[in-house]
Amino acid sequence: MAMFLPSGLTPDEVGFLCEAEEVTVIPRQRLEGLELLGGPTHALNPPFPTPLPLWLALLLKKQRRANISPPPWLSAEALTHILDFETDERTAEVLSPAPALPRATSTAPLEGDPYLSLDSLEFSAPFAKNAATSRAQQDALPYHWLELGHLLLTHASDDFDDPDTIRKLLRDLREVRMSKLRKGFKVLGPGAGIKMNGVGGMEIAEVRGFVEGMVNGLRKINRSREESRKEREAEDRENGLGSGSYQDDEDENML
Q: What residues line the site for other proteins (CB under 8 A)?
A: 26, 28-30, 46-49, 65, 69, 103, 107, 109-110
The rounded distance, in Å, linking the Cα atoms of 207 and 184 is 11
Minimum distance, C-beta of residue 27 to other proteins, in the bound complex (Å): 8
**Looking at beta carbons only, is 41 or 69 nearer to other proteins?**
69
The rounded distance, in Å, linking the Cα atoms of 68 and 60 is 9
Strands 35-36 and 50-53: unpaired
Minimum distance, C-beta of residue 167 to other proteins, in the bound complex (Å): 21
**Looking at beta carbons only, is 135 or 208 nearer to other proteins?**
135
**Looking at beta carbons only, is 111 or 249 nearer to other proteins?**
111
**Looking at beta carbons only, is 81 or 167 nearer to other proteins?**
81
Query: What separation, in Å, do the N-terminal and C-terminal C-alpha atoms of the chain show?
Result: 28
**Looking at beta carbons only, is 39 or 109 nearer to other proteins?**
109
- Looking at the DSSP bridge assignments, the partners of residue 44 are 31
Minimum distance, C-beta of residue 237 to other proteins, in the bound complex (Å): 44
CA proximity to 104, closest of 86, 124, 88: 124
Residue 147: C-alpha distances to residues 17, 45, 73, 161, 183 (Å): 9, 28, 14, 19, 23
Minimum distance, C-beta of residue 32 to other proteins, in the bound complex (Å): 13
**Looking at beta carbons only, is 17 or 26 nearer to other proteins?**
26
Minimum distance, C-beta of residue 126 to other proteins, in the bound complex (Å): 25
The rounded distance, in Å, linking the Cα atoms of 57 and 23 is 7
Minimum distance, C-beta of residue 69 to other proteins, in the bound complex (Å): 7
Backbone angles phi, psi at 163, to 5 degrees: -60, -35
In the DSSP assignment, the letter for residue 37 is T
